[in-house]
Amino acid sequence: MTHQRVYLDYAATTPLDPGVLEKMLPYFSEKFGNPSSIHSWGQQAEAALENAREQVAGLLGCSPKEVIFTSCGSESDNLAVRGATMRASQQRGARHILYSPVEHHAVSRTVEQLVKLHGFEGETLPVDPYGLIAPEELARRIRPDTALVSIIYANNEIGSTNPVQELARVCRSAGVPFHTDAVQAASYLSTNVQELEVDRMSLGAHKFYGPKGVGVLYVRSGTPLIPLQTGGSQEFGLRAGTQNIPYIIGFAAALELAVTRRENRTRQVLPLRDRLVGQVLEAIPDAALTGHASKRLPNHASFVFKNVDGNALLMHLDLAGFACSSGSACKTGSPEPSDVLTAIGLERDWALGSLRVTLGKDSTPEEVEAFTQALPALVAKLR
């Protein structure tokens, strides 16, 4: 048992950076105005809101009017998928949605609801054994009546990273809007929308040391979208509701740190992750890495262990002082294999024994060593 608890679940959430918190605090108390109010308190809040929007736009490589603040990455996904498909159906009768079978549920369940309740046609693209989409496969399946293509940038469960720019170019040439869920990607991969050539991109602050409860949807100017949340005219009429100014300030501050420190963070976590993967696969029989070995997030290690109960393993690791996840954090407690592991073709006796270990800016070689020393005995015990 470790003497100190070790957090290895940075893909689930990250601690709020102290510098980000410091920038947020005044907007809870002294600068508390509603940005829609005309008086000086409101003007102060509105100025802070628009400064944050400009800051985020500069970091993403877009214009401020293309930045929509939301409550989280899941809401951004919902707005992107539902808002785009509804508008495409209205404008050009497009009712076909293409998406990957390894999407976050914020995308996949939104598509499923559109199919069930609104008569859309949802089609999942085939993935390779690493959970990746081939651009040529997308080109074969895209249709004139495709309303939207949504493909995850970096998979939350197995860490694989899709060739987003190439996929976006296929959609651009076909005249179909392309959305990517980049919630897991922002800490370590480029989120410059001009480089990626995406039409919509979802982000959530708590994955890169910002606060929970705030997200962004990038919407390329001129691409159609209807609001899901109606009321006031906030966020250019695309998302009604009084803006959460302290959290928006936190989003902008955290994204700036993510972009400026991206290379340093990658250099820190990559060797630790590679050491962790190598030691786990060497020490434990009937173990396999899930996701691509190199086309993956630099902080992300994910495994399956044959004939092991993944949830029981999580509990034993927690008792031993290690916080990890079984695939997606949203899957904890489920007795069924995850959609992602099923989609990449894993048999049930493998897929039920999944483990996700994700590193962060505070991870140390000592923590990785302690984890890799403790894990083999726990897996053997459960078998």
Give yes or no: 330 in active site.
yes
Q: Which segments of the chain are extended strands (E)?
A: 6-7, 67-70, 96-99, 121-124, 146-150, 178-181, 200-204, 215-219, 287-289, 300-305, 322-323, 354-358
**C-alpha distances in angstroms, 25 versus 66, 158, 163, 167, 203?**
27, 35, 38, 40, 22
E strand or H helix at 114, and its extent? helix 105-118
Q: Which two structure tokens, joined as six digits, stand for 123?
A: 């089609």
Do residues 92 and 63 make contact, with C-beta atoms less than 8 angstroms apart? no
C-beta neighbour count of 218 within 10 angstroms = 26
**C-alpha distances in angstroms, 291 versus 64, 161, 208?**
35, 9, 21
CA proximity to 81, closest of 108, 118, 117: 108
What angle in degrees, to the nearest 10, is found between the helix axes of 245-260 and 40-60? 30
Which residues are registered as beta bridge partners of 123? 98
Which residues are registered as beta bridge partners of 204? 215
Do residues 123 and 95 make contact, with C-beta atoms less than 8 angstroms apart? no
Residue 34 CB-half CA count within 13 A: 7
CA-CA distance, 207 to 74, in Å (whole number)?
12
Please give the positions annotated as active site. 330
